[in-house]
Structure 1
Amino acid sequence: MSTSDEIVAAPDSGRLESLLDAALGVFMRYGYRKTSMQDVADAAQISRQGLYLHFAAKEQLFRAVVMQFMTRAQAAAELAMEDPDLESALVNAFDAWMGEFVGLGSAVASDLREVGPTLIGPIAADCDAQFQQALARRIAASPLASLLEPLSLSPTQLAVTLHAVARGHKHSATSREQFRTLIGDAVRMMCAPLLLHTANAARTA
């Protein structure tokens, strides 16, 4: 079911965006099961009846929240990857894609991970795969790509590995700042051949 099918009476885009932002904050604070439509209505400063005019059920609201968040995160990550500095591009892209949920309370995180696949189906997995493909393209477009060939490594292999490391750090880090530090270390190790090549070229110039 598409998001447009689920919104009973869509408000204007600005109001809808604000409503979904408020709902995201509530879901992240209380988790899915403990969040009520009244909680969201209060956070969005509308009546519960007004909220039901836009979304017939909490499940529909949750799917719309996830879609808005992922659309924004994808756009921010793609923008970050335009940075000509590969290390900065990748660190900022991971932060844009995953950083907002780092440090989420364990009980809340467990609740959202449990209900998420059932409520949103393959949407999250598909978006995650697209992000990983974008990582591979960014690595392939960098000077690092030519240095990988003698090592029998491909941009896709590095993207898959780095993505897996980032997912682990997302769940283990206690803050967004710590996540950035950890993924920064991983990206720096991945970029080591490029850094060494650049340093050697500078010494011989």
Structure 2
Amino acid sequence: MHLPEPMVRLIESFMRLPGIGPKTAQRLAFFVFRMDQKDVTQFAKALESVKKDITFCEECQNISDTPKCKICQDPKRDVSVICVVEQPRDVIAIERMQEFHGKYHVLQGAISPMVEIGPDDIKIKELLHRLADERVQEVILATDPNIEGEATAMYISRLIKPLGIKVTRIAHGLPVGGDLEYADEVTLAKAIEGRKTL
């Protein structure tokens, strides 16, 4: 089937997204083609704005459109507890359950020697810098329950324990090999409640 070049480029662009194959990409491209010009323009601006206007919070490393994210700016958050996660989407997953009221630290990845990601490649130094604040009493390690997440949790635990700060790990009510992003609120709430000291 011969398609106009702009349509081919759009289909190829959609196929670069995770989980989008040729058929879905084609369906999305034709959907965009049928959209009103105003909606297409808004969609394009939203894509551009994500790259241009979003950066990382200078405190917790979560995504933000201001120097400090809304969670770090919230005076009601408990500064004595920091929940360490791998990715910004994990913050969203935990926030959905509305049970955790502490602060976060986003590592922006996990230790994975197989793909040459070491401790210096993720935001561990930034976490240790935050722990100089004497108000921090507990660090909850909420990395994914897979090999990389477990290795990262153990590495961070060994660094924090000598500081005299309580280190806990979320309970394994989550499926091994799964991602926090896909867990439901009840499972996540039980995992947080059942955390244990490492």
**Shorter-normalised TM range:** 0.3 to 0.5
- Which TM-score applies when normalising by structure 1? 0.32
Higher helix share: 1
- Which TM-score applies when normalising by structure 2? 0.32
Higher strand share: 2
